[in-house]
Amino acid sequence: MKYNTAFIPEGEEGLHYELRLIGNQTDESGKPKVKSTYFRSLEELQVRMEELSLEDWQDIAFNAYYTINPVKAEVAKTSHNPDIAERRDLLLDLDPIRPANTMATEEQRQAAYAQAKEAIEWLSTEGIEDIVVADSGNGAHLHLSIAMDNTEESRRVVEDFLKQAAEKLDTATSHVDQGVHNAARLCRLYGSENCKGSDPALWRRSRIKEPKTWRREVAEKNTDIIRRLVKEWREQTVQCQQTSTPETPSEEQKSITQNTSSLMLATGLLSTAGVAYRQELLADGTIMLRLEHCPWESEHTGASRPYEASVIIDKEGRLGYKCFHAHCALRGWKELRAELKRMILAKTTAVSAEPWQWGTSNSHWISPLDQLHTLTDNPLEGLIETGFSTLDSRLRGFLPGQLTLLCGDTSCGKTTLALSLTINLLAAGRKVAYVSNEMSPKLLLERTMQAAATADELEMGRYDWQVKETSKEAICQRLQGMVQHTGGPSATAILASLTQMRGVDLIVIDNLMSTDLASDGNSIYEQQKAFVQTLSRLAQSLDCHVLLIAHSKKTGKELPRIGDIFGSSNIANLCDNIVMQHRSSPDFEQKMRAFYKSSLPVNFDSDTYLEVMKNRTFGELGWCSLNYDVKGKRVVGGC
């Protein structure tokens, strides 16, 4: 068996790497058996591995590890952080969520591999080169070549990069290990067996796709990129926290902010565990999540006493649980949270013990024949046309139960487009709920009336076009299908009011960056991800479409891409459609010519351009052109 490291050791003078073998069982003192030695090349590694493994292990299986960074040659003992000569390897350990000291199932491993694929796409887009891909036997490893001095500053950079990666990549079934930022980090020796747990039948051999030579010029380039990403992440975190928290919040605002993350945590756990609930907002600000049944005893609720088990979130964000059955009297939020996590873990690992035959249906599987009655003669039935034929030709309209992200540079006209979409839907008899966190209800009404007005209902004011006073009531009559949210920018208040809504076709959230999220220690990326996840579930439960507006980052001379959306990359993953909006300008034309070279997709003869960058259902991507009506301050159909 040949053993490998991620980056091939070159036998440099003054440097070597530690090889450490750790038994998978403990002795009488409670400690595992440990043996270590050093090597300077792959050839020497094979020899040292054979020497150590031939020693008397008394039939104890062992796990083999090596230090990913070189150790100073004078160190002969077990290495520690100060013994590292230079940071050359940044490890992304993508690990399935499972009980400790157990081997992952094949399904759990596939979740980690999917996470690794997403990570590679993100890192490659950012310009990272020489990514080494490996299989740890349980999950996936990605090794990035870097060149950093072994200092406290570099440790913080690596630590923050892992936090950023976790916020971008973590899922309900797999996560980035954020604890591997130490300089003397040990990594599984590839080619060795992963011996977690006590059942040898489940052990797997670790593998590496292709070890690479560590190249300083590439490592320095990667280091610059990583430092830039960390700098942007730190600035964004500070900026978002500053803009999302009022300088002098009222007591009511403080209460709303405090229980936002608690609501997202509770609803996320309940939904993932498959426990149905309904949400109520009490007069004193307490949020009640009334469960369809108790997670421990489903008979505790039912037709006679439905929804008697509840999660309680008070104004300060404290979580509680109450079931009025005597058996649950001593169970609180701590016990409920542990049970929900157990249910989630069981869902990911459970194998049905009931026999199942192909062509039949049960609670997890349904046959085509049994599903036939759900289909209609018209596969596009239920789609909500936007009123812009060029956009509908790409998206086919908005599909109920889905979420569309509208993004673009600041002041590119996203709100104008959202209001124009609203007017189009109202004209078609649809119902729209509009949440504006940047405009007061009065200003939003004025903007909406102007967008809905005909040419005869407008007149030139002192400085600009405005709605005639005599036309305002008639216009508002035409806006009867629209409601505006007046409860402030708090995510908790927005979600609580939306869950009570019925019969709505489109919900507009304008916008993500101005929505007040929680500030209880969770990063802004985690808060954004939780908020968007809740919106996605809301679209499904209300059978409506959600249009979420977000900003894109400043990209200089580059055309903004999906990776430039301001916030967590999980936002893009959670959305069903992504539309990037651009305002016509010489700068935009220059970016387009630089990106597309000679095969330009637009003719630069319109005011506004939309690029459909993601279309989950129909898959058609491409560009749309629209124009701007100066009088009505609205977007109209283009070519």
CA atoms within 13 A on the CB side of 59: 1
> 216-247 pLDDT, tens per residue?
999 999 999 999 999 988 887 665 545 444 44
In sequence order, the 6+-apart residues with CB closer than 8 A to the CB of 20 are 34, 35, 36, 64, 65, 66, 67, 78, 186
Whole-angstrom CA distances from 203 to 105, 134, 142, 160, 197 are: 11, 16, 21, 33, 8
Q: Which residues of 438-476 are buried (b: 16+ CB within 10 A; e: fewer)?
A: ebeeeebbbbbbbbbbeeebbeeeeeebbbeeebeeebe
Q: What pLDDT is attached to residue 365?
A: 60
pLDDT surpasses 70 at 366: no
Locate CATH 3.90.920 in the chain.
7-233
Arithmetic mean of pLDDT over the chain:
83
Contact 475, 449 (CB under 8 A): yes
For residue 299, is pLDDT > 90?
no
pLDDT for the residue numbered 329: 67
pLDDT recorded at residue 506: 95
Dihedral sign, Cα of residue 6, residue 12, residue 15, residue 21: positive
Over range 252-281, report the average pLDDT: 68
Closest CA to 190 of 3, 45, 9: 3
Report the CATH number of the 389-637 domain.
3.40.50.300
**What confidence tens digit (pLDDT) does each residue in 101-135 have?**
788 888 888 888 988 998 998 998 889 999 999 99
Mean pLDDT of 16-34: 81
pLDDT for 230 = 92
Selected residue with higher pLDDT from 356 and 542: 542
- At 474-516, the pLDDT tens digits run 999 999 899 988 877 888 888 888 887 888 999 999 989 888 8
Interval 149-203: pLDDT, tens:
999 999 999 999 998 998 888 877 788 988 899 999 999 999 998 888 777 788 8
Q: Which long-range contacts (CB under 8 A, 24 or more apart) does 107-111 make?
A: 107/348, 107/349, 108/138, 108/139, 108/173, 108/174, 108/348, 108/349, 109/138, 109/139, 111/171, 111/173, 111/174
Q: What is the pLDDT of residue 186?
A: 94
Please provide the distance, in angstroms rounded to a whole number, between the alpha carbons at the two ends of the chain: 64
347, 271 contact by CB (below 8 A): no
Give the ranges where 15-56 is alpha helix by DSSP (H): 42-54
Residue 495 phi, psi (nearest 5): -65, -40
pLDDT: which is higher, 316 or 152? 152
List pLDDT tens digits, range 452-476.
999 999 998 888 889 999 999 999 9
Give mean pLDDT, residues 282-303. 72
Give CATH 3.40.50.300 domain extents, the chain: 389-637
Q: What is the pLDDT of residue 352?
A: 42
SS (H, E, C) 66-93: EECCCEECCCCCCCCHHHECCEEEEEEE
Angle in degrees, CA 561, 540, 296, rounded to 5: 120
Which residue, chain included where needed, has tokens 């891409």?
561
CB neighbour class for 151 (10 Å; exposed up to 12, middle 13-18, buried from 19): exposed
Fold of 7-233: DNA primase, PRIM domain (3.90.920)
pLDDT at 371 over 60: no
Res 326: pLDDT: 61
